[in-house]
Structure 1
Amino acid sequence: MVAYDGVGEIRGGGAHVDINGNGGEMWNFRAEGGKVYGYAMTKNFSGVDLLRLDNSQAWNENDELDGVDVVFFAKQPGGRQAVVGWYRDAKLFHKSYRKRRGQRHQGDWESLYYLCEADVENTVLLDSEARDFEVPYAPAHGKGFPGHANIWYGGDGAENSLNFLADLRKYLNSVSVVLAKKERKGKSRVPADKDLISRIEKAAVDKVWTHFEMLGYALASVEKDNRGWDLEAVKGDEILHLEVKGHIGNVVQFELTPNEYSQMKSKMMTYRVCMVRTCLGSPELSILVPKEHECGWMLESQDQAVKIALTEKIAAKAGEISDASPSIG
């Protein structure tokens, strides 16, 4: 494709494109909320095996690995494979795909899947005429090269694949330096400035407040009280504890603080996570209810159209100490 930013003309693409005329990779360089989201089809929809990249630990489904360079290549007119673009310092998910909503006004599919993401300023999509770095094709050039599957992890350590990887890294670095000096068209980074964050948060709260007020609830803001939720909604004897999460785009990107997560579990019958997408455009609200499953906690809308898995994270804080052991007295 020329742009990889939505539905468009595809040349080549394999049997799936021949039959269906489309593919999930069409959105791989669509910037949304300062990020891009990459897709590739894998056998049985199995996703990326992070053990192939880092075997120093055990990986559970949906675990994340940061700092990965992801290079996209495709068949070019004439039949050769060539690099079309890449993500630097991307985040990959272990054996899982995540889902985001397409934007219907742009002709997108209703649901789009992705298995990696990156900050938009760390991405490069080459112009069509600049896609001249050839990628050897395994069936024609021998074992160790890409071609037997849609995802290639860097070969098996054979000399030919190691030489190719060295040339590829040299190419990525040289092209990145050149492009860094140019303005990258269509890649507007969303700055994490305080004013923008405040506008997103206000728009999200306003949307939630209006929604529950129209349902007959009386609302109060408790954002500054550190209770583990932002709003309280009361109607008769019923009280709901509402935690508001606003997004600038369509993709789900939020965390629950330890306090919020603890309150969600202890007040699961009355706790609601109010997720607002596209806050600065046409805000879209999803009311999510906590549910405990065998595999952990999830958030689901009442119609089960939106399902979000929650992954627990453990953190640690570092601080330098003296050589002297603390006295015990």
Structure 2
Amino acid sequence: MDVMSSQKMVLFRLQWMEDYKGFENIDKPTFEHLFDGSDPHEAFNFQVENDGCHYGFARISKGDSIHIERLGEVDQDDKGHQYVDGVTVIWTAKHPSGGMVVVGWYRNARVYRDEQYCPDEINRPFKGDAWYRVSANAGDVFFLETELRDKELLKGLGDTWKQARPFYISEKKKFSKMERKLWKLAQGKTGVSVSKKRKKPVINQERKKEVEEGAIKLVTDEFEKRHYTVESFEDRNVGYDLQAISQDGQEILCIEVKGHGIDTVTADFTFNEYDAITEHQKSQFNQGEYVICIVTSVSRPGMKLHEFRYDKKRKGWFDNINGLKLDPEERVAVKFTAKRGRK
């Protein structure tokens, strides 16, 4: 038996969301418990907090607790709250089109018997206190994008599992084959890549390429329909992907294209791209007008172009056709590498 499968495994069932990192993509009607006045704490299960941890919530029947004694040796913290360490937690949800899927997992997790208050520094927009039941370090947390959530993996589970209870799969001989598949997933042999140094979800390179190429093609076709001459600048490392010149040569657009396989209007930018964006905002970009095009649901029904241009008066990037505004979130990272120190 390998190291990871020596941990106990428990499954929790969530309501469906795309990312579980806040309220932005929440489909409130699917959160049935909202109607009883409670908050969807699980909407933040895959948001890493400032302390480098994730705090996951699992909804259990009112007045019930997680039977953590079935997961390992019970310990308690300085406040007397009981928990078990070293558990693999599989988070699941019902897909909108039917069928149960895995949305992610915590390894080496701490599972509490009862609900816990989130640390004071965690600020979540709830009416009352923020709660969690499971915690794990960010390096032990793995998340699956919607296109990687496999309906076949948990086929048949939803028929025998009540939503508001944990599912102790190791105790169910009927699901031993499913359990082996889940261990394979959690160990990184399917869906994720695991190394001793760092653990990351595997990117489906074929799908990524399809999304990138599909987004570029859609934007190119759109501006050619508007009678622009479009040229690719993708390999020139200039901070944008396409240059589009109007028929009369009076307008030059420098277009940065971002594509998504899902219906999420968001994008990450390289340093070069962000430099070009900030230069344009300061009227220091002299190559043309910078345009941000985000294509969602690429190569799928509902594929859509969102075209953002900078409005100096409103000081922001707006898609006036769809009534959207881009809100920037600057992130700074510092990398430390350990080397043998000199005496």
The residue type equivalent to 1:240 in the other structure is L
- Once the 2 structures are TM-superposed, how far is the Cα of residue 66 of structure 1 from its aligned partner? 7.1
What's the counterpart of residue 305 of structure 2? 285
Aligned pairs (5 A) from 1:50-69: 65=50, 67-69=52-54
Are the counterparts in 2 of residues 81 and 137 from structure 1 also a CA contact under 8 Å? no
Aligned positions of 1:112-261 closer than 5 A: 120-122=103-105, 135=114, 149-152=128-131, 178=170, 181-183=180-182, 191-235=202-246, 236=248, 237-261=250-274
Q: 1:300 aligns with which of 318, 321, 333?
A: 318
Q: CA separation of 1:313/1:25 partners in 2, compared to 1, >3 Å: closer, same or farther?
A: closer
Superposition RMSD on alpha carbons, in Å? 5.2
Provide structure 2 residue ranges, at least 5 long, that are not aligned to the other structure.
1-11, 17-26, 67-86, 118-126, 137-165, 171-177, 192-200, 282-287
2:327 counterpart of 1:309: yes
Question: How much has 1:228 moved relative to structure 2?
Answer: 0.6
Supply the distance in 1 between the matched residues of 2:335 and 2:116 (Cα, whole angstroms).
Answer: 47
Residue matched to 2:294: 275
Change (3 A) 1:261 1:8: closer
1:53 aligns with none
Kindly provide the CA deviation profile for residues 80-126 of structure 1, in whole angstroms up to 9, marking residues without a partner as x.
1456xx997x9xxxxxxxxxxxx9x97xxxxxxxxxxxx933269xx
Indicate yes or no: 2:15 matched with 1:4. Answer: yes
1:280 aligns to what SS in structure 2? coil
With structure 2 as the length reference, what TM-score do the two structures score? 0.49
Q: State the alpha-carbon separation in 1 of the partners of residues 259 and 233 from structure 2.
A: 17
Alpha carbons 1:289, 1:299 under 8 Å: kept: yes
**In 2: Cα distance, 1:264 partner to 1:302 partner:** 18
Rounded to whole Å, the distance in 2 between the matches of 1:215 and 1:177 is 57
Matched, 1:266 2:279: yes
- Equivalent residues of 1:218, 1:234 under 8 A apart: yes
Deviations 1:259-310 (A, max 9, x none): 111111223471111101111313211011235799xx74321247222211
Q: What letter corresponds to residue 304 of structure 2 in structure 1?
A: E
Asked if structure 1 preserves the Cα contact closer than 8 Å seen for 2:293 and 2:306, the reply is yes
For 1:121, the aligned partner's letter is: G
Q: 1:181 to 1:321 in 2, by over 3 A?
A: closer
Contact preservation (8 Å) 2:53, 2:135:
no
Question: What secondary structure does 2:114 align onto?
Answer: coil
CA deviation after TM superposition for structure 1 residue 246, in Å: 0.8
Q: Distance in 2 between matches of 1:194 and 1:248?
A: 12
Q: TM-score, length-normalised on structure 1?
A: 0.51
8 Å contact 2:318–2:325 — kept in the other structure? yes
Whether the 8 Å CA contact 1:298–1:307 is kept in 2: the answer is yes
Q: Alpha-carbon deviation of 1:197? A: 1.6
AA of the residue aligned to 1:286:
H
Q: Work out the CA distance in 2 between the residues paired with 1:191 and 1:323.
A: 34
Question: Does 306-315 or 206-215 show the bigger shift?
Answer: 306-315
CA apart distance, 1:71: 2.5
Q: Does 1:17 align with 2:35?
A: yes
Closer, same or farther: CA 264–152 of 1 in aligned 2, 3 Å: same
Change (3 A) 1:69 1:136: closer
Q: Note if contact 2:306-2:322 (Cα within 8 Å) is conserved in structure 1.
A: no
On the 8 A contact 2:263/2:296 being kept in 1, the answer is yes
SS of residue in 2 equivalent to 1:206:
helix
Correspondences of 1:32-47 after superposition (within 5 Å): 38=44
Percent identity of paired positions between Structure 1 and Structure 2 = 20
Rounded to whole Å, the distance in 1 between the matches of 2:232 and 2:269 is 18
Runs of 5+ unmatched residues, structure 1: 29-36, 40-47, 51-63, 91-102, 107-118, 125-132, 139-147, 154-164, 325-329
Closer/same/farther in 2, CA of residues 135 and 276 from structure 1, 3 Å limit: same
The CA distance in 2 between the partners of 1:239 and 1:123, in whole Å, is 48
User: Deviations for 1:119-173, whole angstroms, at most 9, x for unmatched residues?
Assistant: 933269xxxxxxxx863699xxxxxxxxx934137xxxxxxxxxxx8xx679xxx
Alpha carbons of structure 1 residues 67 and 181: separation in structure 2 relative to 1, 3 Å: farther
